[in-house]
Structure 1
Amino acid sequence: MSLADRAETAGTAEFTPDPRLTNDDLAPADKRNWKVFDLFAMWMSDVHNLGNYTFAAGLLFLGMNVWQIFTSLLVGFVIIYAGMNMMGRIGQRTGVPFPVVSRIAFGVWGANIPALIRAVIAIMWYGIQTYLASVAVDVMLLAAWPGLDSWTHNSFLGLDGLGWLSFVALWIVQALIISRGMESVRKFQDFCGPAIWLVMIALAVWILDRAHWSIPLASTPHPVSVGHQWQQWFGAIGLILATYGTLMLNFCDFSRFAPDHRTVRRGNFWGLPVNSTAFVIVSVIVTAGAYEAFGKEITDPAYLVAEIGNTWVLVVGAFTFAVATMGVNIVANFVSPAYDLANVWPQKITFRVGGMISTVAALVVTPWNLFSNPDVVNYFLGGLGAFLGPLFGVIMVDYYWVKRGRVDVDQLFDARPGSRYHYRKGVNPRALWAFLPSAAVAAVLALVKTFSDVAAYSWFIGTALSAVLYALLCRAERTAATPAPAPVEV
């Protein structure tokens, strides 16, 4: 099926896409077989990980009680749900991945700017998440075979022998999964998401039994003033938005495979407000129960499983946590750079090739050294992460307010001067004028200690600022208020 046949709006009768802008992976999706459960399972894979567990558990010891954590994160996930639906609609209607969607606002060549920013962040975190999963595998191996402790006595490039064994093993497994394309990703996440729930439910039942089924829901181990509680409540919302702002930006990479927008909305509903809130609340209840039962703060589920005192329980738990971390890694940190790098050179780089480049880069940067360096994580990745909100703001305002949802998909693959998304030499200067100052402000708020009180809101502030700036810059060029034509069914 040609690009013209799959266009959201009618283009020219005969159209040949520019080979510098397309390949089979960047073209509108032919196969729309992602159902509600697939999207639901994708969210389970993304949410069910050690990072989200420790984030939610940590809030308990910052002065918030279980009810406050529940309400703040529920509000956060509802906002994320709305944002995902907005980006999901664009992906489902056009059928194209994030870097091609970015061409609508940034231009056919300017789209490489948001694509490469997203790719660099994803590659770095891909390596770090693989390393964190390998740590869980280390725990499993040492529990099953204590003699392997001798492998931890020597290191190379900052990682001991057992660490290298676990990291490379997971690196290879992930590479094998993603080398088979998005269909393999879909099947893997359908397994990963539910798997961690089984362990979490079993862990919750065990810990509640140890705590004699008495969990304080309205108190916290470290009480703070009412004013500070409200600050933490809003701060938790801001942090959860910043955490999911990465995937919110490129959610169209997944929604493009859904048969209709209703499927996207339903999958997002069960995966975000329902499942995600339930997971973090179970995490907090387990943490509160552990504090009640053992009298100490345990925010890492791997250490909590170790309290059970059974070697094979520890092995199963560590294996499940490792698989869950691989699940979120593939969803949040692999798919995006695979498409983003393909967008840079479509004639030579396919989705699979882009994925392999990403995995190799994630190994070369020695992510265990990145993770152990707070300056790298906070300043480099944190600074780049602050750019994602402004990108989201520009893309949303451009599609929904400036273009009013009317997109000619054919023209997204046309680099000729005068084509709809060529703008000025392939770049939309208004998008850059809105993005750059907004990104600078968001980065300063996120990184400079003077603004630490508002750092949690940097994503939201950057998004709002870029949206307002872009709307002002484009008010004279806003598309006439006519109903958007219905998309052509794929």
Structure 2
Amino acid sequence: MAIPKHANEQVVNYDAGLYNSDLAPVKKEKRNWTWLNFTTVWMGMVHNIVAYESAGSLIGMGMSVWQALLTVIVANIVLIIAMWLNGTAGAKYGTPFPVLIRASFGHKAAHIPVLLRAFVAIFWFAVQAYAGSKAIDAIFGALIPGWNSLSSINILGMGLNSAIAVTLFWLLHAWITSHGMERLKFFELWAGPLVIVLGLCLVVWALFVSHGFGPLFAEHSKLTNAEFWGLFPVSVTGLVGIWATLVLNIPDFTRFARSQKDQSIGQFIGLPGTAILFAIMSIITTSGTIIAFGRPIWDPVELLQQFGNPFILVLGAATLIIVTLSVNIAANVVSPAYDLVNLFPKKLTFTKAGVIAIVLSLFFAPWLWFDNSDTIFSIMGAVGGALGPVAGIMFADFYLVRRQNYDLDSFYLTQGQYTYKDGWNLNALYAMAIGTVISLIGLFVPALSSLYAYSWFLGVISGFIVYTLLMKNTMSSSVEINEERQSVSE
């Protein structure tokens, strides 16, 4: 495929199997996402049912408000550092994750981490979508007489009422996705801030029932110091693990950044800023439920139903629906959509691939195991842990091996700087395999079970170190070739 880079430059023959309009670098004039867009996108992603329940559940595990806040803050500091590290290349070159990963793995081997990430993202889409569909079910139950009686009619393992809610929610996702990234940008612009309003309302309620902040923050921890510090790394790793796929595919968003400054500021405000604020709301509200109901309630749908007011239930559940749409599309549709386009660039566009990912998620059938998901989440936690080494490899490749300089043309050439051995960089595969074993060894070796609490961190660090050592002999020659090609193009 012949592609002219600029009006006065020679035509570059890109391989049609590696290039199409969705995988191509975003043109400068179309890189129009400002810091506000990144802030609202992150607001939409972090303000969701799973994030709310995760923060609130820290109280349920016995932590005090201060201990829960410390856990959330540390997790978000780790996340923003990882997002910045991996988002820089996307903003610099305007390319998505499935393209950037070719530099370290080779254009053929790259399909392995790309497919792994797509699998995890589609799974999480199914989880979030089913959680959101329960809000639709709750609204219909409050407004339509006899709605809940439909549960006696079984459809594919769920009641007819749930089946209708699931169908409607999946169709809503497909409708928004069918309008591409631009529709997503404007959807997030108002969907993200909306949940702040709901969160503030719940905080006001919590303050009302507890007569101020004092009783909420005065609740003592139910854990000893030893128990808390034993639980702390597990909790931090769990909170980071929720966003393991986003650490990889953040270039899918930063490629649209107007500047590095826009994506840096926008992500800083949107991720640790609003995520910590949202966590504070969740923690305060959950603490309020202990005072109001005698037990911690961190499921927002259940909490809304506790009020016994149809208006509050409908309004709150509608907000949760919008919030879930927001996070699910941004976090769990964008990534597999680009992954599928990368696999079939001649046949798929971003929109088509996004709809396919939504359809594929149905095969996870979350309604069959959602309420008994301990085993499933353990398995998916292990699969998600395998993403840590991939992140470490990407960090090492961009900052050490390539010294923050990629050859843009080689991303789209079968015979280029990133060809390696017929499209396979065995060094990256070895580093990924070794990193995965190290990150998950605590899951399979009882004597090392304590290490599993640090699985994602172990994966990142080991992937980074092993890849750097294996690529040490080729680092100098790779950089010299890259710099020579860039000087010629300039």
TM-score by length of 2: 0.93
Deviation at 1:120, TM superposition (A): 0.9
Deviation at 1:60, TM superposition (A): 1.2
Alignment of 1:233-248 (within 5 A): 233-248=232-247
Distance 1:450 1:141, change over 3 A: farther
Structure 2 residue 14 is the aligned partner of structure 1 residue 17: yes
Structure 2 residue 445 is the aligned partner of structure 1 residue 469: no
Deviation at 1:177, TM superposition (A): 0.6
What SS class does the counterpart of residue 418 from structure 2 fall into? coil
Amino acid at match of 2:460: T
- Please say which of residues 114-123 and 286-295 is displaced more in the overlay: 286-295
Distance 1:240 1:326, change over 3 A: same
Query: In the aligned structure 1, how far is the partner of 2:221 from the partner of 2:250?
Result: 37
Structure 2 residue 279 is the aligned partner of structure 1 residue 261: no
Amino acid at match of 1:117: L
1:81–1:268 Cα contact (<8 Å) kept: yes
Alignment of 1:53-452 (within 5 A): 53-216=52-215, 219-220=218-219, 223-372=222-371, 374=373, 377-416=376-415, 419-446=416-443, 451-452=448-449
Residues 398-434 of structure 1: CA distance to partner in whole angstroms, max 9, x if unpaired? Answer: 1110110110111100002xx2010001011100010
Amino acid at match of 1:253: D
2:389–2:460 Cα contact (<8 Å) kept: yes
Structure 2 residue 457 is the aligned partner of structure 1 residue 460: yes
Amino acid at match of 1:352: T
**Structure 1: gaps spanning 5 or more residues:** 7-11
Q: Which has the higher helix share?
A: 2
Amino acid at match of 2:22: D
TM-score by length of 1: 0.93
Structure 1 vs Structure 2 CA RMSD: 2.3
Amino acid at match of 1:368: W
Query: In the aligned structure 2, how far is the partner of 1:176 from the partner of 1:127?
Result: 16
Amino acid at match of 1:44: M
Distance 1:286 1:464, change over 3 A: same
Deviation at 1:478, TM superposition (A): 1.6
Residues 417-463 of structure 1: CA distance to partner in whole angstroms, max 9, x if unpaired? Answer: xx201000101110001001211232333566665533231000111
1:215–1:292 Cα contact (<8 Å) kept: no
Deviation at 1:125, TM superposition (A): 1.6
Query: In the aligned structure 2, how far is the partner of 1:198 from the partner of 1:158?
Result: 36
Query: In the aligned structure 1, how far is the partner of 2:319 from the partner of 2:99?
Result: 35
Query: In the aligned structure 1, how far is the partner of 2:45 from the partner of 2:446?
Result: 30
Structure 2 residue 31 is the aligned partner of structure 1 residue 29: no
Amino acid at match of 2:473: A
Deviation at 1:87, TM superposition (A): 1.1
Deviation at 1:56, TM superposition (A): 0.9
What SS class does the counterpart of residue 16 from structure 2 fall into? coil
Query: In the aligned structure 2, how far is the partner of 1:144 from the partner of 1:450?
Result: 54
Deviation at 1:113, TM superposition (A): 0.9
Distance 1:348 1:370, change over 3 A: farther
Deviation at 1:217, TM superposition (A): 5.3
- Equivalent pairs, count: 480
Deviation at 1:365, TM superposition (A): 3.2
- Please say which of residues 396-405 and 214-223 is displaced more in the overlay: 214-223
Residues 95-145 of structure 1: CA distance to partner in whole angstroms, max 9, x if unpaired? Answer: 111100110101111111111101111112212211110011111111122
1:121–1:384 Cα contact (<8 Å) kept: yes
Residues 157-181 of structure 1: CA distance to partner in whole angstroms, max 9, x if unpaired? Answer: 1111011111111111110110111
Residues 349-382 of structure 1: CA distance to partner in whole angstroms, max 9, x if unpaired? Answer: 2211211211111123323225355366235422
Query: In the aligned structure 1, how far is the partner of 2:126 from the partner of 2:298?
Result: 23
Deviation at 1:313, TM superposition (A): 0.8
Distance 1:234 1:207, change over 3 A: same
1:9 alignment counterpart? none
What SS class does the counterpart of residue 333 from structure 2 fall into? helix
Residues 334-360 of structure 1: CA distance to partner in whole angstroms, max 9, x if unpaired? Answer: 000100011011011221121121111
- Please say which of residues 61-70 and 162-171 is displaced more in the overlay: 61-70
